[in-house]
Amino acid sequence: MLELQEGQQIAPEKPCLVYTERGFSLSYQGRFLYSKYAPDRAILGTIQNLTLLPGTLIIAVSPALWLGLDSLLEKLPENCFLLGVEFDEKLHDFADSELKKITENLDSVKKENLLSKVALLPYPDNDYIVNILSGEDFPSKNEASSILPHISTFRRAIPLEMSAGSQFNKEKYRDFASQAENTIASFWKNRITLTKLGRLYSRNLFKNLGNLSGAIDFRKLSRTVSQPIFVFGAGESIEETIQNISRSQLEKCFIIAVDAAAPALKAFGLRIDAIIAVEGQLAIEKAYIGASGKDSLIIADITSRPQVTRHRKKALTFFASKYTDSSFFKNLSGKAFFPPVIPPLGSVGLTAIHIASLLRKNQNVPIFVSGLDFSFSLGRTHGKNTPAHIARLSAANRFSPAENYAAAFRAGAKAIAGKNAIPVITDQALSGYALSFADFFKGMANLYDCGKQGLPLSIQEISSEKTRMYLETIEEERPAFTAEEDSAPEERKSNQSEIHSFLESEEKALNRIKELLMFGNDVASCSCSLEDELTALISPREYLFLHFPDGYKCESHDISFLKRLRSQIDFFLKDIKNELKK
């Protein structure tokens, strides 16, 4: 490495040390990355004013000389980690060599302590922070990529500019820090969801496995719809759409409805080709009262409420939302009988759009959207004739009006200007879905928002009048979608046999776990210890503990964990036995 003395010329093409009276500064690309007079003054001042909380991932932006590292380490609370990130390859190599110099001068204990709290992200991994935090595979993954503790260690991520090298790639560093923050936040949001609903999702999955062999393989429906697709949510904007576009024109399209929108479309007399069923709880069955889904293809999530599949005369098909990254789900999704896996989109509306994009023959087939408002108006929460609206009407009396004003004044609700400057009310959850919609579908070809009100979806907006004019150009009314039961009995029989074998293996494993927990070493295997056998059986079956507050880890050595786990086994054994009897 070149070290320059005072008066020597600065070489701008590579990082060069520059001597000052108060230590070395660094020059690169014709600029100093630290002060020429006091190189560490700025970063030390920043660290001094920095407030750190336990469980913080600190993104050390362009660490270069790692000035201030000692002061920062002294200030770190528990469960914190300093991750250096450099998007300039030459500066990255320089920072890597500087960190190695720092560690070489430490004894073994201090070196181990530093490396447990500090690391520089390998240059090829800069674009994969989401994968690294989530523990997912990515193209450049190797042993050096596994430098961060488990994501459950962190509660937040903050960026810290350690040199002026951050100015070379400002947008990249901003996106990197944002991705890290969002990934950590999503992990804990998912943990809250799984704590509340994780067991329900897993139990529904086992119950739906029995229906897979008689259902159509969703893969056979993919890329089969050549007509325009119309996706309806349950928001208020659905009313304007069905009032301004005639039934005959709408029925030229392939109609997809989220389950809560089905009664409203049925009341309008509209034929529904497919209903998307995602909800796993009892409340959703209200959407099927009055035979709303009898004449439609049910496209159900494998974790959705199994009972809704009874409300049909036509075919059934399944997909699988990736509700967990567990080994159990990964192993199951690799089996031939398991339905195709889609990303966890969180909202039935987003899922319906994704399913529509999979069904359309190609990107030239337009998808129209209405009723995905992610907001509501004063006194209303859903469109007319949806289950929520009908429930308010049926319960109304002189003391409790049909209008739902309470929703607009609950904690977190706020009024904003939506599409077409129409005032709407939303909250953090609903607006979060709108942002997720934009993230997933912004830029998708031929996706149009027909909703007159609601939050902007960041896709092309189109009025009902223009949609009607387009549909008028379609000469013939398309025939009803006629997806029938799978006509390959040998394939159905094979799937049934594989599902049966899988359920039997799970039943055997659960009974063995139960036996080991009840009788301990008296029935333990001679080939391994009790704890090792329990770990081998429990760790790939996360559905047993996924809903625990600490369900992101298998603590088979912890007696409290094992007691809680024992209480869950009988629920799943009951579900598995019921499916085996079918």
Tens of pLDDT, residue by residue over 511-570, are 999 999 999 888 887 788 888 999 999 999 999 999 999 998 899 889 999 999 999 999
Task: Give dist(CA 363, CA 444) in Å, integer.
Answer: 8
Percent of the chain whose predicted confidence (pLDDT) is above 70: 95
Tell me the pLDDT tens digit for each residue of 39-75. Answer: 888 888 989 999 899 999 999 999 999 998 989 998 9
pLDDT: which is higher, 287 or 573: 573
Read off the pLDDT of each residue in 207-234 and give the average, rounded to a whole number. 92
Read off the pLDDT of each residue in 330-348 and give the average, rounded to a whole number. 92
Task: Give dist(CA 329, CA 323) in Å, integer.
Answer: 9
Q: Does residue 479 have a pLDDT over 70? A: no
Dihedral sign computed on CA atoms, order 434, 439, 441, 445: positive
Give the pLDDT score at 575.
95
Give the pLDDT score at 119.
93
- What is the average pLDDT value for the chain, to the nearest integer? 88
Read off the pLDDT of each residue in 150-166 and give the average, rounded to a whole number. 92
Tell me the pLDDT tens digit for each residue of 372-384. Answer: 999 999 988 999 9
| Beta-ladder partners of 416 | 424
CB-CB contact of 375 with 426 (8 Å): yes
Q: What is the dihedral of CA 576, 504, 531, 204, to 10 degrees?
A: -30
Q: Given 3.40.50, 2.60.420, 1.10.600, 1.10.8, which CATH number is that of 44-186? A: 3.40.50
Please, what is the angle between helix 489-519 and helix 170-212, to 10°?
100
pLDDT band at residue 478 under the 50/70/90 scheme: low
Q: Does residue 2 have a pLDDT over 60? A: no
Q: Tell me the pTM.
A: 0.84
CB-CB contact of 452 with 237 (8 Å): yes
Read off the pLDDT of each residue in 389-403 and give the average, rounded to a whole number. 88
Q: Does residue 305 have a pLDDT over 90? A: yes
Largest CA distance in the chain: 89
Helix residue ranges per DSSP H, 539-581: 559-581
Task: Give dist(CA 426, CA 450) in Å, integer.
Answer: 19
CB-CB contact of 342 with 317 (8 Å): no
Least confident of 26-30, 120-124, 228-232: 26-30
- DSSP annotation of 442 reads T
Tell me the pLDDT tens digit for each residue of 240-293. Answer: 999 999 999 998 999 999 999 999 999 999 999 999 999 999 888 888 887 666
Tell me the pLDDT tens digit for each residue of 492-522. Answer: 777 889 999 999 999 999 999 999 999 988 8
Task: Give dist(CA 56, CA 155) in Å, integer.
Answer: 6
Give the pLDDT score at 482.
55
Give the pLDDT score at 291.
67
Q: Does residue 351 have a pLDDT over 90? A: yes
Which residues of 327-401 form beta strands (DSSP E)?
A: 341-342, 367-370
pLDDT: which is higher, 508 or 294: 508
CB-CB contact of 15 with 31 (8 Å): no
Read off the pLDDT of each residue in 233-242 and give the average, rounded to a whole number. 93
Give the pLDDT score at 232.
97
Q: Does residue 203 have a pLDDT over 60? A: yes
Phi, psi of 56 (to 5 degrees): -110, 130
Amino acid identity, position 362: N
Number of H helices, E strands in the chain: 18, 19
Structure-token pair, residue 115: 């490396």
pLDDT band at residue 10 under the 50/70/90 scheme: very low
- DSSP annotation of 302 reads T
Beta-carbon count within 10 A of 75 CB? 14
Least confident of 58-62, 107-111, 296-300, 576-580: 107-111
Task: Give dist(CA 448, CA 578) in Å, integer.
Answer: 45
Q: Does residue 1 have a pLDDT over 70? A: no
Distances (CA, A) of 87 to 34, 60, 294, 496: 18, 12, 56, 52
Read off the pLDDT of each residue in 321-335 and give the average, rounded to a whole number. 92
Amino acid identity, position 134: S
Phi, psi of 555 (to 5 degrees): -105, 65
Length in residues, the chain: 582
Percent of the chain whose predicted confidence (pLDDT) is above 90: 58
